[in-house]
Amino acid sequence: MTVTTTASGQASPPVELVTCTIDGIDVSVPKGTLIIRAAEQLGIEVPRFCDHPLLSPVAACRMCLVEIEGQPKPQPACAVAVGDKMIIKTQMTSEVADTAQRGVMEFLLINHPLDCPVCDKGGECPLQNQAMTAGHAESRFEGVKRTFPKPINVSAQILLDRERCVSCARCTRFADEIAGDPFIELLERGAKQQVGTAEDQPFDSYFSGNTVQICPVGALTSADYRFKARPFDLVSTPTTCEHCASGCGLRTDDRRNKVQRRLALEDYEVNEDWNCDKGRFAFRYLTDDRLTHPLIRDEEGDLVPASWPEAINFAAAKLAEVHGKVGVLTGGRLTREDAYAYAKFARVALGSDDIDFRARAASTEEAEFLAAHVAGTGLGLSYADIEKAPIVLLVGIEPEEESPIVFLRLRKAVLAGTAKVAAISSWASPGFAKTGGTVLAAAPGAEAEVLAALGAKAGSLSEAAASVADALREPGAVILVGERLAANLGGISAAVKLAGETGASLSWIPRRAGERGALDAGALAGVLPGGRPITDSGARAEVAAAWGIDEADLPAEPGLQAAGIIEALLTPPVVDEEPAPGTEEDDALIIAETAVESAAAADDEPGDAADAAAEDPNFEAIIEEPEPRISGLVIGGVEINDMPDPEAFRLALKEADVVISLETRLAGVDAYADVVFPVSVDTERSGSYVNWEGRIRPFGKVLRDATTLTDGRVLAMIADELDRPIATEDSNAIRREIDGLGFYSGTRPVPPAVTAPVAATPGSGQALLASWRHLLDLGILQAGEQYLAATQRPSVVRLSAATAAGIGVSDAEDVTVSSESGSITLPLVITDMPDGVVWVPGNSPGSAVNASLSVVPGTVVSIARGGQA
Amino acid sequence: MAELPQAVRGFSTTFFTMFRKVNTEQYPEDKDKYPPKPAFHGRHQLNRHPDGLEKCVGCELCAWACPADAIYVEGADNEEGERHSPGERYGAVYQINYLRCILCGLCIEACPTRALTMTNEYELADNSREKLIYEKDDLLAPLMPGMVPPPHSMVAGTTAKDYYDGKVTGSTPAQADEVAAREVEKVSAQAATADERLADAAANEEAAIKVAQERVANDREEVLADLAADEKKGGAQ
């Protein structure tokens, strides 16, 4: 195996060129190029169905026949590589090729139904188009066309009309070669040949939607889009997927201001020609149950509709009351522009640095790592780089579930033999198994230990681990850490240390699309836009100058992160100066109360008691209300169950004096909010995301008539009302401001070096919780997608054989996993994983870890036979 | 004649014309006397199969062909028990905007199922824009004898192809029964809702009476108590 170790952008070694003549034009192409590709370079289009640049050639449809001088019969251009001095004639110049193609087309049409008017592909169909260019106007076929009963479901989402199929095998090759889910295959022979699935195994692939897009006829259609619109109704806009940090380019098609479908947009640097089903099919949330007007809480405690000026005034008045004590939680789903607006709003309008974009299990260690290593670093390690890494070590990330395009790239590279994959994980998931990588099994919480062992290359390493450790020291090696590693203290520090020791590149892959952008935009305590540390006065000065404010008005100390904000709301404020054991404090309070009462009672001697109080300096300090650190919240796009402990978050929301919520639909936080503002979704505005590579992925406004307001605009209106303007009304203006600010160029903070605590040892009937979220689950952006939900992976609990035997359960029996807060009961699948570890999906039907267990992975939970919690 | 005044010459033309055959067609009084030619392109009609099912498959080719962008169609799936046309697909929404339509007839040429044809109706004027957007209900052909109103299932044992081959010639008793059963169900559902509403109303009335009675009783007690208190006070004084 030859590993190309040059970084992307550098010149690759010279390739051998061959020169051929196509239709009388000479062209030089690298050796091994297929004739059809060489012709494309000349702008000569050879008709084709089965050929796809990313799939292996099969020459199944025979449509691309061309004449090659010296060959007795026409040859398929999609399967024959160009030879030196080859003379090729396509249908443009060769009667033979043209006749051959027309003959093939006539054969293909023999059994193809004439149902174009009711076919979803009609209007954008390669067969339809090529029947016009290379077909006979009249059919000579007089027999009865082969028919099949109407569509069959190869999965809940994908429908197959078998009579339309031209047996090009694009879908089966995609499923096998790209997705690695070979659940569909060509069955039968001759005229009966058809695509089919095994009886008990539907085509439940996370990438099944791509087969609909690459089908050159209307044989594969999606249940979601079936009969919804015709291609000529649709207006297409290039957009970016908002479902994960892969940053796929999408084409969003709308009809009369309603999104009808989304397709993968060709972008060879990022998603090539593919995307996942979540990105393709989950967009109903854009329209269903939208909030359309601001709501404010009236005196009776009900949320009532209000006008915009009324709600803005109300929110501004409320925020003015708690100035400097407001926390801002933005979730991870915002665009870079909106996150920037929140970051600026917090610093300028609220005078606070208490902001965090991480609505999930997070740690201070992670924040330090992000500030040191990720924030404001721009495009770093790219998809192209991971494709040729001697080893890609995955820690705290499950690519197929959490960043599907990373998975596709890894699989592609592994199949091409240009990269190897290893993961530190509790078990080899089906997705990981498809990359054929090495699993370095680790109980949750023990990742740091494994990372340290790889770094130290201690003698105790297993053979597999030792080869991973060696590969990590080769140039171009990559360590990818997922956001889940933040839950296990010390893990990120260990990864940083390992990268330092081995020279491997380290990259961070969050799960949500907006996280990297929010980080760059400064929506994290201690980090100003562009990755500037708030403690650096030079950085503060740059930002203050760009924002047109006095540097002294910018907070100079890092504020609280999400966990700190919630804790500050839940901990009752204590009187400082008084180290005060409880009794003394209670006494003091009682004295104060009595004093006030007596002052009120003593009508005839007004002010006496108060005077007495004024004379006593201690007294004064005591009756003064202790200042809470946080008493207000501004929340944008946080789902309560995103938080690792939803109940604590609810209590914190209840405890807060002021809660301002910016939402697209009423999703939970509104129950505690004083003001709720409706904001726009991605289709209603332009913006950008930053994908895990650090690549900016802009998208345009899809629904041109939409009049909803962006988060930035709402915040700007509140800021104006507070007389601390932030000027974030316009996304383009924000983009210019971000570009103007640029990235931080000073000394970066030091990455964290946290020592991992000793992992807890589960007792009998206990286990360490491991968990990650399935790609298709109960996520709020997939709400209402019934066909998509039907292709979810089943919710199961996983234990090792020994652990299962320990609690006396066997395969497929129910197991109950419980914590102090609640329990989850799911059927068991015995899995090859460390003993004393239990795995459940993070947010799937019957298994909402945050809501039910309220613990983060790595915690000890109880396990028992189903029903005996 | 040359010496006759010009005016008399002019009026003579008028005078003689009074006795000539009249060419004016009186509209709207005599419109029935002058029907348009059979090939006249008038208002559209969405035709039905002989058993009442719609011919439109919602393919939108009419909308595609329309040079004036006057037609809007949304296709949909024929759900189980909700069949509007033979085959899989039907036109769920069908609108023609007669403010835009130029009655050129390209749409009816495009129609692959002969679902869309044009009638001779030419009176396409109204007093609001909304009324000139004809919906599917306005465009559907009337039910002829032998047809039953969809949704209903296809004639038993036939395929969509049989419909296009003209093998279906009318509705079957089974289809008629199906539609009748649906009607009965609809009526009984309406009756049930009406009953429920009546019951609700009665319950509300009862509750209201009860509240009123309680209030009267309370008031009475209060008044009595007040009186008693007054008396007591009076006695004390």
The neighbouring-strand residues paired with A422 are A393, A438
Q: What is the DSSP letter of B33?
A: G
Q: pLDDT per residue over A84-100, tens digit each?
A: 999 999 999 999 999 99
Among A12-21, A366-375, A606-615, the minimum mean pLDDT is found in A606-615
Q: pLDDT per residue over B151-171, tens digit each?
A: 999 999 999 989 999 999 999
Which of B66, B74, B94, B111 to probe the A interface (max A CBs under 10 A)? B74
The neighbouring-strand residues paired with A766 are A862
Instruction: Report the alpha-carbon angle A260-A262-A265, nearest 5.
Output: 145
Q: pLDDT per residue over B187-224, tens digit each?
A: 999 999 999 999 999 999 999 999 999 999 999 999 99
Question: B80 pLDDT band (50/70/90 cuts)?
Answer: confident
Query: For residue A401, what pLDDT is reported?
Result: 95
What does DSSP say about strands A823-830 and A814-818: parallel, antiparallel, or unpaired?
antiparallel
Cβ–Cβ gap A226/B113 under 8 Å:
no
Residue type, B88: E
Cβ–Cβ gap A230/B59 under 8 Å:
yes
Tell me the CA distances in angstroms from A540 to A351, A375, A526, A734, one per residue in order: 14, 15, 11, 18
Instruction: Report the alpha-carbon angle A478-A481-A482, nearest 5.
Output: 140
Q: pLDDT per residue over A20-49, tens digit each?
A: 999 999 999 999 999 999 999 999 999 999
| Proportion of chain A above pLDDT 70, given as a percent | 92
Cβ–Cβ gap B75/A227 under 8 Å:
yes
Q: What is the mean pLDDT of residues B133-150?
A: 95
Contacts of A228 in chain B (CB under 8 A): 74-75
What is the rounded average pLDDT for all residues in chain A?
A: 90
Indicate the SS3 state at residue B80.
coil
Residue B94 C-beta-side C-alpha neighbours within 13 Å = 26
Q: Is A824 exposed, middle or buried (0-12, 13-18, 19+ CB in 10 A)?
A: buried
Cβ–Cβ gap A118/B64 under 8 Å:
no
Cβ–Cβ gap A227/B61 under 8 Å:
no
How many Å separate Cα A559 from the centre of its chain? 27
Among A13-17, A143-147, A282-286, A444-448, the minimum mean pLDDT is found in A13-17
Q: pLDDT per residue over A661-713, tens digit each?
A: 999 998 889 999 999 999 999 999 999 999 999 999 999 999 999 999 999 99
Q: pLDDT per residue over A88-146, tens digit each?
A: 999 999 999 999 999 999 999 999 998 999 999 999 999 999 999 888 888 899 998 88
Contacts of B59 in chain A (CB under 8 A): 117-118, 122, 230
Query: For residue A59, what pLDDT is reported?
Result: 93
Q: Find the residue in B nearest to A147 (Cα).
A: B161
CB A293 within 8 A of CB A306: yes
pLDDT at A588 over 70: no
pTM of the model as a whole: 0.87
Q: pLDDT per residue over A483-505, tens digit each?
A: 999 999 999 999 999 999 999 99
Among A70-79, A456-465, A514-523, the minimum mean pLDDT is found in A456-465
| CA–CA distance, A187 with A167 (Å, rounded to integer) | 10
Q: Count of CB atoms within 10 A of residue B212's CB?
A: 10
Is the Cβ of B69 closer than 8 Å to some Cβ of chain A?
no
Query: For residue A11, what pLDDT is reported?
Result: 52
CA-closest candidate to residue B100, choices B126, B67, B123: B67
Cβ–Cβ gap A122/B64 under 8 Å:
no
Is the Cβ of B62 closer than 8 Å to some Cβ of chain A?
no
Residue type, A651: L
Name the residue with tokens 């590589």: A81
pLDDT at A618 over 80: no
Q: Find the residue in A nearest to B63 (Cα).
A: A233
> At a CB cut-off of 8 Å and minimum separation 6, what does B165 contact?
none
Contacts of B88 in chain A (CB under 8 A): 118, 150-151, 227
Our CA-based measurement puts residue B139 at a distance from the nearest CA of chain A, in whole angstroms, of 21
Name the strand (E) or helix (H) holding B90: strand B89-97
pLDDT at A605 over 90: no
Q: What is the mean pLDDT of residues A768-786?
A: 93
Query: For residue A624, what pLDDT is reported?
Result: 57
Question: B235 pLDDT band (50/70/90 cuts)?
Answer: low
Residues of A with CB under 8 A from a CB of B: 117-118, 122-123, 150-151, 226-230, 232-233
Question: B79 pLDDT band (50/70/90 cuts)?
Answer: confident
| CA–CA distance, A671 with A678 (Å, rounded to integer) | 15
Q: What is the mean pLDDT of residues A802-816?
A: 93
Query: For residue A650, what pLDDT is reported?
Result: 95
| CA–CA distance, A728 with A527 (Å, rounded to integer) | 19
The interface predicted TM-score (ipTM) is 0.81
How many Å separate Cα A680 from the centre of its chain? 19
| CA–CA distance, B178 with B184 (Å, rounded to integer) | 10
Question: B236 pLDDT band (50/70/90 cuts)?
Answer: low
pLDDT at B3 over 90: no
| CA–CA distance, A375 with A280 (Å, rounded to integer) | 29
Q: pLDDT per residue over A349-386, tens digit each?
A: 999 999 999 999 999 999 999 999 999 999 999 999 99
Question: A583 pLDDT band (50/70/90 cuts)?
Answer: very low
What is the rounded average pLDDT for all residues in chain B?
A: 92
Question: B24 pLDDT band (50/70/90 cuts)?
Answer: confident
CB A532 within 8 A of CB A565: no
How many Å separate Cα A328 from the centre of its chain? 22
Q: What is the DSSP letter of B140?
A: B
Is the Cβ of B67 closer than 8 Å to some Cβ of chain A?
no
User: Where does A289-389 have alpha helices with state H?
Assistant: 308-321, 336-344, 364-369, 383-387
Our CA-based measurement puts residue A124 at a distance from the nearest CA of chain B, in whole angstroms, of 13
CB A134 within 8 A of CB A103: no
Point out the residue among A118, A232, A233 whose CB comes nearest to the CB of B57. Answer: A118
Cβ–Cβ gap A117/B63 under 8 Å:
no
Query: For residue A64, what pLDDT is reported?
Result: 95
CA-closest candidate to residue A260, choices A238, A289, A284: A284
Query: For residue B74, what pLDDT is reported?
Result: 94
Point out the residue among B63, B64, B87 whose CB comes nearest to the CB of A118. Answer: B87
Our CA-based measurement puts residue A314 at a distance from the nearest CA of chain B, in whole angstroms, of 40
